Chains A and B, each alone.
Chain A
Amino acid sequence: SQTIHQWPATLVQPVGSPLSLECTVEGTSNPNLYWYRQAAGRGLQLLFYSIGIDQISSEVPQNLSASRPQDRQFILSSKKLLLSDSGFYLCAWTTGLYNSPLHFGNGTRLTVT
């Protein structure tokens, strides 16, 4: 069966520090991968999605970036965090079929101080 791992679960970082969040998927190949963010009291905001290695699309301009160094690994990064980067970050995958649901990781709670 397929599983998705996301780490760390919680993170507290000072403003201006770098960020690296990792996500890996097991039990499937060539998944579509996604990074979402939830700010407090708000819905889901799609940040990045990837349909293959080195194929990454950005949905919103920001100081975050994403990389996919391996087929089932998706990394969210920042060189310098802002206070507004605080939130709950969710990684997700799907098979890419149009009727396929998204499968989410357990999320990372990021607090920028």
Chain B
Amino acid sequence: AQSVTQLGSHVSVSEGALVLLRCNYSSSVPPYLFWYVQYPNQGLQLLLKYTTGATLVKGINGFEAEFKKSETSFHLTKPSAHMSDAAEYFCAVSGDYQTGANNLFFGTGTRLTVIP
């Protein structure tokens, strides 16, 4: 079955500090993984995605994520936080496409606060 767990519903970091948002997944098939960002009263915007190939994926706004199959993880990182990074972040895993289900399954989100 497909599912995503995001550890920590709230994360606070100082401006300039490392950002680490955790995501673990469960998938019955080789997964496709996604990170989205949501600013207040807006829709979700795709940050990056992993499908196949290189396990370190770079996205927009300086974010990157590494797919680790052995750990079933897809953590999101950014070396230096900016005030503009304050938002909610969602991790998602693809459905079991072998059975024809191509919906995405989302985690419950992590709210990132950046402290000046």
Contact = CB atoms under 8 A, between A and B. Distances in A.
Interface of A: 6, 32, 34, 42-44, 46, 49, 88, 90, 92, 94, 96-99, 101-107, 109
Contacts of B63: none
Contacts of B44: 44, 90, 92, 102, 104
Nearest to A45: B106
B49 A99 contact: yes
Nearest to B45: A104
Contacts of B97: 98
Contacts of A102: 34, 44, 46, 92, 104
B103 A46 contact: yes
B102 A96 contact: yes
Given A43-B107, A44-B106, A103-B46, A98 B32 contact: yes
Interface of B: 32, 34, 36, 41-46, 49, 51-52, 90, 92, 94-95, 97, 102-104, 106-109
Contacts of B42: 106-107
Contacts of B90: 43-44
B94 A107 contact: no
A97 B103 CA distance: 10
B41 A99 contact: no
